[in-house]
Structure formats: structure tokens, C-alpha cells
Structure 1
Amino acid sequence: MKFEEVDSQYDVICIGSGMGSLTVASLLAQFENKKILVIERHFQAGGFTHAFSRKNRFHWDVGIHYIGDMQTGGFSRTLMDTITHKGVDWQRMAEPFEKFVYPNRTFELFGDPQRFQTDLIAAFPKEETAITQYFADIKKAAALFGKSMMMKSSAPDLSAFQSQLGNSNIVSLKDYLDVNFVDPDLKAILASQWGDYGLPPSKCLFATHAALVVHYLNGGYYPIGGGGNIFKSIKPLIEEKSGQILDTTEVKEILIQNKQTIGVRAQFLRGKQPIREFYAPIVVSGIGAWNTYNSLVPESEPIQFREALRSFYKREKMATSICVYLGLSESPAKFGFAGENHWIFASNDHEKNFASRNDWIFSESPIGNLYLSFPSLKDPLAEHHTADVITFCDASLFDPWKEQIWKKRGEDYEALKERIARKAIQTLETRFPGFEKIIEYVEVSTALTNQHFTGHPDGAIYGLACVPERYDKAKSPWFEVETPIKGLYLTGVDAGGSPGIAGAMMGGLASTLKILGNKNLLKRILKE
């Protein structure tokens, strides 16, 4: 349907088509018969759930590298099955599903919580008591997180996490590790998955880390056929209730009258780029708190915390990354890979690892810290082999080109991307001799790529930073699902309390429950 022919009136408008918005749209369409309009600036809907291909052979997922809690009976699986109407099948990853690689040792993580604990104790027998307590503590923190999100549509206040541990001095992951453990190798191993939220131990709230670890205690899972099947499964559920999905369309403003939202003003991004207004009494923003309050809510609309939000963003920069996509001529199984993730670190000091995240780009050394993944080995339907190399960096490295147009950023930018690709390949070849020979296709995605397609400032991949201040409700009210504007709600990772696809999905559930004003929906979902 053409932009000009789409209806103007809806029950709910969702800004962005990421996991948070898709969750809201699917649940409200299925359980409340709501007519939903989803507006997406990218030409391919799905947010970080979408996939892409090159040469009609190589396929990659943009944001889904693995998801936890997808075993039968897991809450994430139950919710995902509900919003997709069981339209997505999930493949359990090969075991061990993660390898934490350090200069002096490699720790293999299996999707079995008892084995995880036993393997740690076997490696560090002197710290058995602390290890046992750690598993009890992460489960308590994760449970507090989940219960609050489902019952209150909000993450717990920072004080609740502190009182739960019985030590108000423990706030960050580093605080917890330093108080409870001695061996630096053990501390490093326990913090190895920090790339899943993009912060070093000193910056991340312990409870955020705990929720992430618990999420993966029963292993990692991958969507069979790729993450794009999530949107493909949800789209007809929206359309069955006369809803629409508009891609290649950017919301320019949230329309507000008498402190209540009445709809949005949006622009089609091709051709003559017409502008239209769409109306609904409820608008749900899935594009983050920063964009919502600083780009879409007019400056003329007073938001008491707007300046505080801007200050938070400047002070606590969001995680940005570089991804090198590799198309392979042969299966990487020949090098011993079975589909597991590899977290490779330059040292067991993650503060140092994080601080040096930019150093490799302009030096002669290989990449020190990276995540290596093989989508084709995780997906039984994959016919051609692929790999991802991901590493964190500062978005400021790409500032010289941020005002330039996608695909027209000049020779210097292309040269930098070529250098990044060479360094990634060099790093893999050093660790896995012969790997370079099977690389057939290379493509580099930077923070500018992410920003262009998602609109997130600095190309952020996890939303606003999960630092402790984020959970101090008095200081950071912009993370709440319900906004100061009547009828306007947040969803996605900023509303979900934790990053990633599962965090965005929980944000979508929280937003839906808040919109409905009751918890009957949760009971109905659990009965599905």
C-alpha cells in the first residue's frame, strides 16, 4: 500500500519496529483487537531483529546472535511464542555454547547451571563458598528484576537492589566481585559476558549483570531461518486487525494537545518525501528515551527532566560497536568450531580491556578484545557459511564522517573500513591459521551504519547505559514506561531495564501491561 493510501486513524501508533514495538503491537492486536500502525525509518522492518544477505548466498542477523531462556517453559520462550504465534522455531546452540578466551586460560560455558557452578569450583576450589553464594545472589537479583517488570511495569529502584544484597556498598559488578572474590582470573571469567551489555564491571549495575547471566544459564538459542522470521510472524497478526506497517518512513514529531498525545507527523523517505499526520490516542515510542524526549516531543512541551537526560547522556555514553561480516567459502567447522560464541580478551583485567577498546584501530597490533560468532553453524537451514567479528569502540572515532551521506562518505572512510577489515582478518588468522583462506566476502558496519539505519545517537546498540544511576528513579525518571505526556509510552530496552532482544521484549510487555492498566493479560499469556 502506498504511503498516501494508508489510513490516518488508529487505536495505537508504534514508533520504530524493533522488538519492543513489535511486542506491544502483537499483544494489543491479538488480545485487545487494537488497530495498530507501526512506523519504521529503515526500508526493512524489524529493528535489530532483521536479517540481511549478500550475493544471494550469505545471510547474517543484525542484532540476534543468541538468546537465552528459550528452553521449553522459559518465560522468554513463552512470551516469544505468544507474540509470534509460535511462528519461530529455535535451535539450541552446540555445547559449550560460549568460550571465554584469555591469554592464560580458556573457560568453557555449558548451558547447565549446575555444571557452570561445578566447573568454576573445580578451577578455583579455594573460592567454593563465594562461588556458591554468587549463584544464589544472581538468581535473587534476576528474580527481583523480573517480578518488578511484570508486576509494576518498571525496573526496581536502585535501593531495592542494594538492600537485597545486605551491603549498601555493593552497587556495581566490580564492587561485588572485589568484595567476594580474590583470584583475578575468577573475577574475569564471571564478568566475561560484559559485551552483552557493553560496560566494564566498574560501570555496570550488579543486578543488570545478574539478570544477563541468569538469562543464559540454560544455554543459548538461535532462531531457525534467522531473526527476520520474528517480524514475518508478527506482521500478519497486526494486519489481521486492520493494522499497518509503514517502512521507509520517519516520525518527525509527536503531536500533542493539552498535554495529551493525539498522534504523529511522519515523512516518507523516498521520492517527493510527502509528510502526513496519523492519529491515535496512544503512541508508543520504541526508539529510546533520548530520541523520544529530545527529537520527537516538541521543545515547546515542558519536560522537567529533559536537561537532566541530556546531561546523563553526555556523562554516560552508550555502547557502540564495529561489526565485520564474513562470508566463507567453506565450513568453519574445519577449524574445530561447532557454533559456539568466542569471547576473546587481551587480559583478565576488563577495566583495561574496555579502556583500550580503540587502541588497535590505528596501531599495528591485532584486535585485543572481540566477539566471534558463526551464524551459519547455529542455523540448521543455512546453506552457506558466515561469521561475525564484533568489537566495541567510541563513536567519536567516526565523527569526521558523521554529517556525510550513507554510501557517500568518501575515500578516507572507506580506507578506514578496509583497515578495520584487515585487522579483523589478521586477528583471526593469527589465532586460527588458515582461516583467511576461506574468507570470500567482507563487509564492515560502524557506529555510523547503526545510526543511519536506527536513528540511535552514536549508533548505540543497547540503548542508554545500564549504569547504576539509570535505576535511581529520583535521578533518572526518563526510563519509566509512562511518560509525562498522557497517552505517550516508552517501550524497548530503555523501558525494559536491560539491553538486548529479550530486554526489549520485556520492555514491550511492560508497556502493554501499563497501557491496559491491569495484569489479566499476563495471566492470559501464561495460559497460552
Structure 2
Amino acid sequence: MNIDQVGNEFDIIFIGSGMGSLTTASLLAQSAGKKVLVLEKHFQPGGFTHEFQRKQGKYHWDVGIHYVGDMHEGGLCKKISDKITRGQLTWKRMPDPFERLVFPTRNFDIYGDPEKFKSDLISQFPEEEEAIERYLKDIRKISVLFGKAIMMRLSPPPLDSLIGILGEGNVVTLKDYFDRNFKSEDLKGILAAQWGDYGLPPSKVAFAMHATLVQHYINGGYYPVGGAGKIFDSIEPILEENGGAVLSSVEAKEILIKDGKVVGVKAKALRGEGHERDFFAPVVISCAGAYPTYTKLIPDSYPISFRKDLKDFYNRERMTTSICLYLGLSESPAKFGFKGENYWIFASPDHDKNFSERNDWLSESDEIPNLYLSFPSLKNPEAKSHTMDVITFTDYSNFAEWKDEPWKKRGEDYKEFKEKIISRILSTLELRFPGLTKLVEFAELSTPITNEHFTSHPDGAIYGLACVPERYKKEKCPWFDVRTPVEGLYLTGADAASPGIAGAMMGGLAAALAVTGNANLLRELRN
């Protein structure tokens, strides 16, 4: 469907078609009968839930879903997923261990069983048993607290709410908590190993963010049967029932405001002649992220009291970015013992050191300090070919010189730089798993400027704005609130809750509750 095939008037307009928008749109279409319009800049809707193909459709990869937690029966994420897809989406539990942590001097496997997780930690670190038990209790309490806060439409939850849970003292970052409670650096390295899911090392990330992430995966990881694209496929028909529509290759250029109230969105077609068109609705919900919403989509002429503070926060807390190597394999990686679990490979248990060295490997011959391996074809029982993803971290600045060049036409220097990166990643894999690279039939590298091109996320970051402690102080960071100072304008997605598909889903729930205050919806999800 193109920009000229729909009318002008809607109940709600969504900017972006990621997990936050899909969640909010489906909930409001079902519970309130809303006619929604979803505007997506990418030619493939779904945000980071979409898939892409290569080699005439032989190979399929997800771009953002590598695993999701809390999808067991009774889990809140499972309840939300069932609600927004009307039960049309099935989640397959990953094999145990679902995470394998690889360090220079020891390995650790994580199983989707809280008691086994605890006993395995205590088995390797018996002298820290009391601290381990306290840690697991603390992350559970904080996760429950933050879940309740979102249910009460307090997004993000206030950091002050942690007072009394962690005792006296200034426990703000994950490093603060570790330094107060643990002695072993190896144990700290194991407990913080999933930092790639929120993109910050222990010295920077809020302990609350870490706690909710660990608790999210405490019962294992799950993957959508049929692939990540099934999420959008199952939701789009629900949106269309009330006359709603999803437009891809259409970029939101400006949020239209009159007398302090939202009235619509100015959009531009990115295909054809590229003409602009205004769409109108009394409610607009942005999944573009807080920074683009307040600094680009809301006109500069409209006063936002915290706009400068937001820019300062962004410049002070610039997010690391990632590169992803998508591999098509001639044979199943199962021949090397992989069963579909994720691998986190580190040069050191000191994740602040790993983080600080995230760019060194580009110019030196040292080992890449962080590698994440994912096997989409082993997680998806309907996969018809063999695929693998390899992710590592770097900074946007390494690619910025090509940011204004057109996609797929960025010149030989860019192509050669990407080939160098591919070669370095493959050589690292071969050292770890001899013979694996012989299976590689196809390789394609995605960089931060690719992410920026399709999503408009600043620096091509995939996490939203940084989950540093300051984020949870509402008086300092009001831009993370699902409600905005503009009447009728709301945020959804990661910046309305937390990073990741599940975090964006929770942001979607928070936005739906803020728009309607529907108590019946809460009761349905709690039951």
C-alpha cells in the first residue's frame, strides 16, 4: 500500500512500526476500536522485528530478535504477545543451556532454571554463596517493582523506588552493587556478561536495568516459530479491521501541532516522486525514540522546555553501536556442537575493559574483545537454510565519513573497510571453532550507518538512549516519560521503558495504558 491509497483522517498515527508501535496499536485497535495509521521509513515494516532475505530467498535472518525471555506460560510478555497477536504467534523455548559464556580462564553455561542458575554459581564460587543468594533476591524484587510501575503508567519507574530494597548506601550502577557485594572478578564477569543486551558496561549501567534484564531471562530464552517476521504478519490484519493501515517507505517529517495540541503528521513518500502529504489525528504516538521526536519531529519553533537538556544528555551519554555479520552456511552449524544457544565470547571478565577496547581491534591485530553468536536457523523449527549472526561492538565515529552516501552506493573505501571487518571476524571465529568458516557461503555486514539510514536512530544505536542511573530521575530526564508536554503526543518503544524487544513491548503497554487508562486491559493481562 502506498501513501496515496489511504485517507487523511485517523484516530491515532504511529511513527515507526517497531515492537512498541505494534504493541500499542494492536492493544488500542482491539480494546478501543481505534483506526490507526502506522508510518514506516523502511521498505520492510516491523522495525527491529523484521527479517530480510538474500540469495533469491534462500537465506533468512532476523535483524533484532535473537531471543526473548518471559515467554513461558504465565509470563507477562507471553500474555502481552498472545493479546496483541490473538494467539497467532508461537514461541519456541531455546535448548538449555540457552547462553554460553566464554572467558579466557573459565566458561559458564546459563540454564533457564532459576534454581540451577543459583546452584551453578554457588558451585563455582562457594565462598560467595550468601552474596549470590542476596543478589538473586534483589534482582527479583527490583524487577517486580519496575513491572508494577509500568502497570501504574509510571514510565520509566523512579530510581528513588529502590531505596529500602538494596539497603543503605549509594548503590546506583551495577559496578556499585558488585563492589559492595562480591569479591571474585570472575563472578562479576559472569553476572554482567549479558551487558550486550543493553549496551553499557557495569560502571555505567543502572543496577535497576541490569536487574530487570537478568530476571527477564531467568526462565530461559525463546524464539518466534517461523521467524521474527511473524510478529508483524500476525498483527497487521488486526490493525486493518478498523480501517487502519501500515505504510512502508514513508518517512514522518514533522509532528503537526496547533494551539499546543497534536493534529497530525507530515509524511514523505520515499518511493516514486517522493511527494509529501499531511495525515490528521488527535493522537500521535512516536516509536522513533525520544531524541528524534523532540529534536527533529517536533518543530524547533515549538517550545520544549527540556530540549537543550536532552541534547546535553545525548552528547554526554553517547551509546555504543554494534556491527552484525550475517552468515549463510552450506551445512548446519549443529555439526560443530551448536544447538541454538547464544555464545558470549570475551577477552576478559572485566567488562569495563572490554567496553573500553571496543574500537582497538579495528586498527590492531589483537583479539576482538566481545563477540556474540546467534543461530537463527537452529532456533526456528521452520527454517529451510542454515544461518548465523555474529555481533560485536564499536563506535559510530568509525563509519561517520560515509553517513551521507546513499545506501548500497557508499564507494570502494567503505566496501574495503567492511571486507576487512568481515575478514577479522571470520578469522576470530576460525580460531575459536576450527573448520566453521569453511561452511560460509554468504556474508554480509551491517554497520551503524545502515541502522541510522533505516531507523533514524542517532548514531545508528539499537538500544534507544542510555540506561544510566540519571535516566530514572524524572526531574532530570522528563523526556523518558511516555507522556509528552504536547497534548495528544505520546512515546512508545524502548525509550518509554527499556531496551530490547521485550522492553519495547512494555513501552507499548505503558503507552496504551496512558492513552486510554483502560483498567479492563490491565485485568486481562493480570489474569
TM-score range, shorter chain: over 0.9
Tell me the CA shift for residue 240 of structure 1.
0.7
Q: Partner of 2:111 in structure 1?
A: 110
Please say if 1:209 is aligned against 2:214: no
What SS does the aligned partner of 2:369 have? coil
Structure 2: distance between partners of 1:3 and 1:506: 30
Partner of 2:161: 160
Whether the 8 Å CA contact 2:39–2:246 is kept in 1: the answer is yes
**C-alpha contact (below 8 Å) 2:76/2:525 kept by paired residues:** no
Distance of 1:168 and 1:39 partners within structure 2: 46
1:42 and 2:47 matched: no
* 1:326 counterpart SS class: strand
* Mapped contact 1:22–1:508 kept (Cα < 8 A): yes
Q: Secondary structure at the match of 2:70?
A: coil
Asked if 1:32 corresponds to 2:32, the answer is yes
Q: CA deviation at 1:361?
A: 1.2
Shift of residue 320 of structure 1?
Answer: 1.0
CA contact (8 A) 1:162 1:171 kept: no
Shift of 1:521: 1.6
Matched, 1:73 2:74: yes
**Which residue identity is paired with 1:233?**
S
Residue-by-residue CA offset, 1:151-181 (whole Å, 9 max, x unaligned):
1341221222244212341100000001000
Q: State the secondary structure of the residue aligned to 2:273.
A: coil
Which letter maps to 1:22? L
Q: Which residue of 1 aligns with 2:514?
A: 514
Q: Which amino acid aligns with 2:137?
A: A
1:488 Cα deviation (Å)? Answer: 0.2
Q: Which residue of 2 aligns with 1:20?
A: 20
**Which residue type is aligned with residue 109 of structure 1?**
I
- SS of the equivalent of 2:152 reads helix
Confirm or deny: 8 A CA contact 2:156 2:472 kept in the other structure.
Answer: yes
Counterpart of 1:106, as a letter, is: N
Deviation readout 1:46-85 (Å, 9 max, x if unpaired): 0000011111111110000000000111110010110011
Counterpart contact for 2:348–2:354, Cα < 8 Å = yes
Post-superposition CA distance 1:118-170 (Å, at most 9, x none): 00000000010000000000001111110001113412212222442123411
Kindly provide the amino acid, as one letter, of the partner of residue 305 in structure 1.
F
Q: Deviations over 1:372-431 (max 9, x none)?
A: 111111111111111110011111111111111111111110001001100110010001
Residue matched to 2:170: 169
TM-score (norm 2): 0.99
In the other structure, the counterpart of 1:407 is 408
What aligned pairs does 1:264-279 form with structure 2 within 5 A after superposition?
A: 264-279=265-280
Contact 2:377 2:388 in 1 (8 A): yes
Q: 1: CA distance between counterparts of 2:176 and 2:312?
A: 25
| Equivalent residue, structure 2, for 1:461 | 462
Deviates more, 1:513-522 or 1:158-167: 158-167
1:173-252 equivalent positions in 2, closer than 5 A = 173-252=174-253
Q: Where does 1:381-420 land on structure 2 (aligned, <5 Å)?
A: 381-420=382-421
Structure 1 position 111, deviation (Å)? 0.3
1:14, 1:360 → 2: CA distance? 40
The alignment-based identity, stated in percent, is: 60
Cα distance in structure 2, aligned partners of 1:191 and 1:134:
12
Partners of 2:342 and 2:375 within 8 A in 1: yes
1:346/1:369 contact within 8 Å kept: yes
Query: Counterpart of 2:188 in structure 1: which amino acid?
Result: K
Matched-pair contact (CA < 8 Å) for 1:68–1:218? yes
2:267 and 2:276 in contact (8 A); partners too = yes
What one-letter code is carried by the residue in structure 2 that aligns with 1:320? T
- 2 CA distance for matches of 1:108 and 1:524? 36
RMSD over aligned CA atoms reads 0.9
CA distance in structure 1 between the partners assigned to 2:366 and 2:307 by the alignment: 42
- Check whether the contact 1:319–1:462 (CA below 8 A) recurs between aligned residues: no
Instruction: Indicate conservation of the 8 Å contact 2:20/2:506, yes or no.
Output: yes
Match of 2:98 in 1: 97
Alignment-mate amino acid for residue 97 of structure 2: P
SS in structure 2 at match of 1:501:
helix
1:153 and 1:513 in contact (8 A); partners too = no
- My pick for the range that moved more, 517-526 or 484-493, is 517-526
In structure 2, the partner of 1:133 is: 134
The one-character-per-residue Cα deviations of 1:331-368 (angstroms, maximum 9, x if unpaired) are 11111111110000001111100000011112223322
Partner residue in 1 for 2:333:
332
Aligned position for 2:424: 423
Asked if 2 retains the 8 angstrom alpha-carbon contact of 1:366 and 1:424, the reply is no
Whole-angstrom distance in 2 between the partners of 1:178 and 1:336: 36
Deviation at 1:307, TM superposition (A): 0.1
Matched residue SS, 2:165: helix
- Following superposition, the deviation at residue 319 of structure 1 comes to 3.1
TM-score normalised over the length of structure 1: 0.98
CA contact (8 A) 1:45 1:231 kept: yes
Any idea what the Cα deviations from partners look like across 1:423-464, whole Å, max 9, x if unmatched? 110010001011111111000000001001111010010000
Task: Work out whether residues 366 and 423 of structure 1, in 8 Å CA contact, stay in contact via their aligned partners in 2.
Answer: no
How far apart are the structure 2 equivalents of 1:185 and 1:524? 43
Counterpart-to-counterpart distance in 2, 1:186 and 1:477: 35
> Aligned partners of 1:191, 1:162: CA distance in 2, in Å?
22
Provide the residue aligned with 2:349 in structure 1.
Answer: 348
One-letter code of the match for 1:81? Answer: D
The answer to whether the 8 Å contact 2:2/2:248 transfers is no
| Residue range with higher mean Cα deviation, 121-130 or 146-155 | 146-155
**Cα distance in 2 for residues equivalent to 1:16 and 1:67:** 21
Secondary structure of the 1:210 match is helix
Q: How many residues align?
A: 526
SS of the counterpart of 2:343? Answer: strand
For residues 298-336 of structure 1, what are the alpha-carbon distances to aligned partners after superposition, in whole Å with 9 as ceiling and x for unaligned? 111100000000000000012310000000001111111
**1:368 equivalenced with 2:377 (yes/no):** no
